[in-house]
Every structure is written in structure tokens, then in C-alpha cells.
Amino acid sequence: MTEQEAQLAALARLIAESPHNLVSRADRARIGTHHIRESVGVLEQLSATPGQRWMDLGTGGGLPGLVLAIRRPDVHWTLLDATHKKVVAVAEFADRLGLDNVATACGRAEVLAHDAAYRGAFDGVVARALAPLPVLIELARGFLRDNGDLAAVKGPSWEEELAAAQPALALLRLEQLGATRVDSAARPTWVVSMRAVGPPPPFFPRGDGVPRREPL
């Protein structure tokens, strides 16, 4: 077993044994075969290059962010979630796994995307099971620098979501790159890829909760 394989196995145990219910009870026995396997497949579709700074938006229990950090130690990963106990758990996991390329952040995307430390500061954002595409695009755009990539991990309804997101793509200056199926995933999974054209548009994302209540 390689060091990375050992780290992935350890991560599966840490998530399964966490008292914070980071995945459903039914999923605890299949973190490795489902969640981690899917996360590894997602990584193969990302454009990350050495030295870049990427964000896992809505990381939850650290998926896919911690898997990406294990497999790509040459990239810096910021794992963001709005739930404090999840961020604390993820930070502990990163420490126990010896990952020095991981930072964590706790807060709402609508707020942190306007913070100078985060706004337009990332080469890429990946998000898994966070929100429908019209909402996700607005939440993620403020973090992306010019030519930064957004990788949205989606299920079979990705085409309908992408069609609904066309007004948001135009308004937020995102170029649609394509969608690729993750063949190694245990469930039907696609990575929908977009690229930022220019810096984040002013005033976006809108205030706390508005993107979900009033999608663009």
C-alpha cells in the first residue's frame, strides 16, 4: 500500500468514526467504495496545476477536498463550509493525516466571497452536492480569479441544471467548457466545467441566503 492509499484508508475511517454524522449512517460502511472513489475520479477531471490555489466549496466532512489534497500535494486546498463542527472535524482530519497543503475556513460563501482574503483569490473551485447550478455559480464566482475554473460535481440532471443556469453564466461572466462523466464513480456522476472571464463581477454574490431564495 502506498502512502496515499494509506492516507485515503485512514480518511475513510476518520469520517466513519466521527461523532458528527459527517455522512449518513447508511454511507459509513461505503465511504471508501463510494465517496472516496468518486472524489478520486473527480480529481482526474480537474485542471489543477502545481502551485495553484483551489477551494472545495461546501466541503462537509472533507469530501472531495481532503481526497484531492492527498492525491495532489502540489496544490493548496482551502476547504470551506458554513457549519462550524464540520470545519473543526475537517481541520483535525487534515492534521492527523499530515496534510500541510490544507487550510480550512468557516462561513457563508455570500460573506466570505466579499472578503479581500478570498475574493478572486482562487485558481479553481470544486463543489460537490452543494446546490443547483444557478445557485452554485453565484456562490462560487466571487472566489475565482480571471481564467479560474469552476468544477461542479453533478448527477444525471446536470443538463437541465445547466440549461437553467444560462442567465447566471452570462451575468457572472462564466464560459461553459463542457461536462465529463466520472466513469469510476459508483453512481452516475458528471463534472460540469466552467471558466471565469475577468475578475468577479461587483455585487455578487448577493446577500446571505438570497442566491437560494432568488436564483439568477
Please name the residues in contact with 189: beta carbons below 8 A apart, sequence gap of 6 or more.
Answer: 38, 41, 42, 153, 154, 155, 181, 182
Which residue is it, cell 462560487?
A: 140
Third-level CATH fold of 3-213: Rossmann fold (3.40.50)
Strands (E), 116-173: 122-128, 144-154
Q: Which pLDDT score is estimated for 97?
A: 97
What's the mean pLDDT in 9-30?
80
Which is higher by pLDDT, 16 or 144? 144
Q: Tell which phi-psi region holds residue 107, choosing left (phi > 0), alpha (psi between -120 and 50) or beta.
A: left
Residue 22 has pLDDT above 80, yes or no: no
Q: Which pLDDT score is estimated for 116?
A: 97
pLDDT, tens only, 41-63 = 999 999 999 999 999 999 999 99
DSSP letter for each residue of 13-60: HHHHH-TT--S-GGGGGGIIIIIIHHHHHHHTT----TT-EEEEET-T
pLDDT band of residue 25 (cuts 50, 70, 90) is low
What's the mean pLDDT in 92-106?
97
Nearest residue to 198 (alpha-carbon basis) of 145, 150, 136: 145
Mean pLDDT of the chain: 94
Q: What percent of the chain has pLDDT over 90?
A: 87
Q: Which residues pair with 57 in a beta bridge?
A: 80
Residue 32 has pLDDT above 70, yes or no: no
- Give me Rg for the CA atoms of the chain: 16
Q: Which pLDDT score is estimated for 33?
A: 73
Q: Which pLDDT score is estimated for 164?
A: 97
